[in-house]
């Protein structure tokens, strides 16, 4: 455990140092929004969100680029320096999710600047959503075929063999968390703060399972996200961007699946589940009932409309995330 904490501190220090010039670099290349016309992960305009966040126009996004680079390099370095016996397919699913979804998110970020409707940058949301599913199914198939995951552990009932059905189940978990983190990345500090809480919980689980491959990756990721959070808390100097939100959502789901504690995933990431759940219910209500079920969605936007200040929403979400993490750890350890 001391080794893992040391790696987390090292990652935090390196990331913290590099984020200062990186933010200046993003300003220099103008990787920032020049107008506030936001679309949610369902490709719908969000005028209410724009109303509350118009003052943030000009803040650079793309913090996920540096997180991906630092975590990938430090992880591979740590495996070599400590002589860790790497589980190759476990490493593959982590890095494929981390880098693959990051590249997809980077495409979205660049599209915001290009704004073209034709050619490569004219790919519709439907196709991008399809790409998410294709990548998720690739990861899920590796879980099933190479790592031998074909079960669902339910506390009180034991292992339930799912067989080939594990593949669509795992793909659903991955796509859900990808979009959940993306939705939660709407307030300064909300998504990265919740991610750190989740990662601490999964680090405890992986340490108990003596999974060094997974533990080292989580520890390094935790340190880098913590450094990013320093610059992302209200008022944020930098945002994750889709490159960060999609990659971190995907890798969080993969980390949860690798622990084998399936029910604990949804509980530990409970706030993310509430965020995407409220958005999905609102979307379905508008489409099939012709009216909004909530005054606003996702959940954090509802509280903003109620008059809550942004820092208040974020800090209470962190508190709720901490409670969910404790409950999830209890479920995982009993």
Q: How many whole angstroms separate alpha carbon 313 and alpha carbon 99?
A: 30
Element (H, E) at 282: helix 270-284
- Of the CA atoms within 13 Å of residue 19, those in its CB half-sphere come to 28
Q: What is the pLDDT of residue 119?
A: 44
pLDDT at 45: 64
pLDDT at 286: 79
Which run of H or of E encompasses 104? helix 88-114
pLDDT profile of the chain (334 residues), mean per 10:
90 96 89 64 62 74 94 93 82 96 90 57 72 96 93 70 91 95 92 96 90 92 97 92 94 93 88 92 82 82 88 96 94 81
Q: Are 64 and 251 in contact (CB under 8 A)?
A: no
- The pTM of the full predicted model, rounded to 2 decimals, is 0.91
Instruction: Please list, in sequence order, all residues whose beta carbon lies within 8 angstroms of the beta carbon of residue 252, skipping any fewer than 6 positions away.
Output: 177, 181, 195, 198, 199, 269
Asked whether 59 and 237 are in contact (CB, 8 A), the reply is: yes
* Cα separation, 202 vs 325, whole angstroms: 9
Which residues, in sequence order, are CB contacts of 266 under 8 Å at separation 6+? 273
Contacts with 287 (C-beta within 8 Å, 6 or more apart), sequence order: none
pLDDT at 82: 74
Count the helix, strand and coil residues of the chain and give each as a percent rounded to the nearest 5: 75, 5, 20
Please write the tens of the pLDDT for every residue from 204-263. Answer: 999 888 888 899 999 999 999 999 999 999 888 999 989 999 999 999 999 999 998 878
User: Helix (H, G, I), strand (E, B), or coil: what is residue 76?
Assistant: helix
| Residue bearing tokens 């879980």 | 143
CB 324 within 8 A of CB 311: no
Q: From residue 50, give the alpha-carbon distance in Å to each of 37, 79, 186, 285, 291.
A: 7, 44, 10, 22, 21
């Amino acid at each position: 455990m001391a080794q893992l904490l040391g790696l987390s501190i090292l990652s935090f220090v390196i990331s913290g140092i590099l984020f200062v010039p990186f933010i200046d670099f993003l300003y220099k290349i103008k990787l920032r929004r020049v107008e506030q016309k936001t679309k949610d992960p369902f490709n719908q305009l969000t005028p209410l969100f724009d109303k509350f966040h118009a003052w943030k126009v000009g803040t650079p996004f793309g913090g996920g680029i540096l997180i991906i680079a630092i975590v990938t390099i430090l992880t591979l370095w740590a495996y070599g320096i400590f002589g860790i016996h790497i589980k190759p397919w476990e490493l593959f699913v982590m890095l494929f999710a981390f880098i693959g979804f990051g590249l997809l998110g980077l495409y979205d970020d660049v599209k915001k600047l290009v704004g073209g409707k034709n050619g490569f940058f004219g790919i519709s949301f439907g196709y991008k959503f399809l790409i998410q599913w294709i990548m998720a199914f690739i990861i899920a198939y590796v879980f099933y075929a190479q790592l031998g995951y074909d079960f669902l552990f339910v506390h009180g009932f034991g292992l339930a063999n799912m067989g080939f059905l594990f593949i669509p189940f795992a793909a659903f978990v991955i796509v859900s968390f990808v979009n959940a983190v993306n939705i939660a990345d709407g307030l300064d500090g909300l998504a990265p703060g919740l991610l750190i809480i989740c990662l601490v919980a999964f680090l405890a689980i992986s340490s108990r399972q003596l999974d060094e491959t997974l533990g080292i990756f989580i520890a390094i990721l935790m340190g880098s996200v913590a450094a990013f959070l320093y610059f992302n808390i209200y008022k944020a100097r930098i945002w994750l961007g889709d490159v960060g939100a999609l990659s971190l959502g995907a890798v969080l789901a993969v980390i949860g699946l690798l622990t084998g504690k399936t029910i604990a995933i949804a509980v530990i990431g409970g706030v993310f589940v509430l965020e995407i759940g409220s958005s999905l219910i609102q979307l379905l209500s508008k489409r099939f009932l012709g009216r909004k079920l909530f005054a606003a969605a996702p959940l954090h936007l509802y509280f903003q409309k109620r008059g809550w200040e942004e820092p208040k929403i974020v800090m209470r979400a962190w508190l709720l995330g901490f409670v969910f993490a404790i409950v999830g750890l209890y479920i995982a350890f009993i």
